[in-house]
Amino acid sequence: MIEAKLPRISVVVTCYNCRDYIADAIRSVAHQTLRDFDCVIVDDASTDDSVAVVQQTLEELADSRFRHIRLDRNVGQTGATRRGLAETNAMFVCFLDSDDLWNPDFLERHLAAHLNETYAVGFTACNARLINGHDELIAGGMYWFGKDRARADRDQAFVPIDASRLPTLDASRGTAGWQSHTPYRLYTKRVVHWVWVSTSSMMFRRSLINLVFPEDDEAFRLHMDFYVVVMAQMVAGSLLIDDALYSYRLHGRNGAADNPVLGGRLHLSSRNWGNTYSQMLDRMLGAMIRDQERFVTALGDRQYRRMLLRMRAARANVLVGWLLTIRSWLI
């Protein structure tokens, strides 16, 4: 067996008024099986007891890999994440929301996926289990993960459920457990809709984040993840891990998930995301035009021109969109 040294990983946790869950999020990072990482927790000027909870948790852990930064004013999701990135320098980077939880093998599984011998991707993403504010399981996974939602919803009167994906219930302990399946799927589609769960499910190459991270903190106080992930997918593609390696928490104060879980299609948001998607594509297109030299240096002129055409195709009507996409294939 040929051995090589593993690259380091940086973890950025941003927190705003999340005193009830931030300690568990930090502990889920501390308990990772892969030990060579550093973690920065950025408090975005919380007005509750989040700062005290973080400080107490870090004192209990007494782990030099963790640092805590408190911002004097609230700068939003993008500004807080930017500050965390500035404090780290590892080759790979992960973002954990302060109310989510990672499985102990989250970093290990993602890094192994990145280091596969077949195809180097920009980021990896996994499925998620749903839990509530009391850590109770709501659902074993997100049905839309890795799927075109419109196609997944169409003509699905009878859908077989793979028995191997059912959990084993331990009645004496009151717990559920799943077997690891480790199936991976390469996702190379360059004009996309959202097929992932959240950025808490992902590991990015730092070089890619440096290229696609938005410059305007105020314009991206929210939905920074949408911009970064879709842009990253268009640039470099992703590898999907068909296992739930983290828990997404529904607690009533989630920014995007405001629907109760009733079963069926698990539509967690009542919001129409069409306008947000269009706005983000417009901003991506503007960024690529403004920073042409930087993108051409990273992608090459040919791929840069393809991306511009595909972004314009995503904003056009069906006929024009197809024509622009065909043009991109001919470059």
68 and 117 together in one domain: yes
On the 0-12 / 13-18 / 19+ scale of CB atoms within 10 A, 172 is exposed
The torsion angle over the Cα atoms of residues 90, 96, 98 and 103, rounded to 10 degrees, is -110
CATH of the domain at 139: 3.90.550.10
Dist. CA 80–CA 146, nearest whole Å: 28
Q: Is residue 169 part of a domain?
A: no
114 and 243 together in one domain: yes
Total domains in the fold of the chain: 2
Identify whether the C-beta of residue 26 lies closer than 8 Å to the C-beta of residue 41: yes
Residue 184 domain boundaries: 9-156+179-290
273 and 308 together in one domain: no
196 and 322 together in one domain: no
279 and 328 together in one domain: no
Q: Which of 7, 27, 25, 3 is nearest to 16 (CA)?
A: 25
| 3 state SS of 246 | strand
Dist. CA 324–CA 311, nearest whole Å: 9
74 and 186 together in one domain: yes
Q: Is residue 1 part of a domain?
A: no
Q: What is the pLDDT of residues 284-307, one digit of tens each?
A: 889 999 999 999 999 999 989 998
Q: Is a pLDDT exceeding 80 seen at residue 2?
A: no
Dist. CA 141–CA 129, nearest whole Å: 5
Q: Is residue 4 part of a domain?
A: no
**For every residue of 15-78, which 3-state class applies, written as one string?**
ECCCCCCHHHHHHHHHCCCCCCEEEEEEECCCCCCHHHHHHHHHHHHCCCCEEEEECCCCCHHH
Tokens 């996309």 — which residue?
192
Dist. CA 110–CA 93, nearest whole Å: 11
Helix (H) or strand (E) holding 232: helix 224-236
| 3 state SS of 219 | coil
Dist. CA 201–CA 221, nearest whole Å: 20
187 and 121 together in one domain: yes
Percentage of the chain modeled with pLDDT above 70: 82
The backbone torsions φ and ψ at residue 207, rounded to the nearest 5 degrees and listed phi first, read -60, -35
Which of residues 176 and 124 earns the better pLDDT score? 124
Q: What is the pLDDT of residues 181-208, one digit of tens each?
A: 667 788 876 656 778 899 999 999 999 9
Identify whether the C-beta of residue 230 lies closer than 8 Å to the C-beta of residue 174: no
214 and 316 together in one domain: no
Tokens of 294: 């930087």
| Mean pLDDT taken over the chain | 85
144 and 195 together in one domain: yes
pTM: 0.87
192 and 314 together in one domain: no
Max Cα separation, the chain? 62
39 and 121 together in one domain: yes
The predicted model gives 127-143 an average pLDDT of 88
300: left (phi over 0), alpha (psi -120 to 50) or beta: left
Parallel/antiparallel/unpaired status of strands 238-250 and 184-187: antiparallel
43 and 152 together in one domain: yes
The listed range with the strongest mean pLDDT (53-67, 229-243, 305-319) is 53-67
